[in-house]
Amino acid sequence: LRTRNVYNDIDHDKVDVLSKFKKGVPSWRSWDNFAGNNAIRLAWVLFYIFLYWLVDAPLWTYFVLIPLQAMMSPLHGVIINWFSHKLGYRNYDVGDTSTNLMPIDWLMWGECLHNNHHKFGGRPNFAVKKWEFDPMYPCIWVMNKLNIIQFKKGKLDTDYM
């Protein structure tokens, strides 16, 4: 709940955030307002119910898991912003409590490499050790190759090794 309140205060410009944390971060306020609308959230829940009904979901658990699907984003935030500051290992001393939770990182698509993220926030690949793997990086790499996104000059994965 505290994390939610802090995020909402930042999102609604009720607190000042250091410019180093805002540098290069895109702002798409119209999308944020759209996606954060409770009617849109309810529409997604109804969409899942309709989709499962349409495909004649083979298991009743599909419907039971709808609340989990609706809570996925807040749940993801709790896992990252609580567990990744309480448990795990550290590659870098970055002046905070961030840690990496590599064993469960595949669930969070690279976000549990949180200590690495705090060290290299703008890096497209949060994995730094040979045995670490950022599951989102191949997706980002493919989007770069398809010109959906573009890496900044000097921001390729190998530039950080």
Give the domain ranges of the chain.
Answer: 72-160
Torsion angle in degrees (nearest 10) through CA of 154, 121, 123, 9 = -110
| pLDDT classification of 25: cutoffs 50, 70, 90 | low
CA distances from 13 to 4, 38, 95, 140, 152 (A): 14, 20, 25, 29, 28
Tell me how far apart the alpha carbons of residues 114 and 108 are, in angstroms, rounded to a whole number: 11
For residue 156, pLDDT over 70 is answered with no
**Most confident residue range from 31-35, 50-54, 144-148, 151-155:** 144-148
Averaged pLDDT for residues 128-150? 91
SS3 25: coil
Q: 31-55: per-residue pLDDT in tens?
A: 888 888 889 989 988 998 888 888 8
pTM: 0.62
Amino acid at 22: K
Query: Mean pLDDT over all residues of the chain?
Result: 83
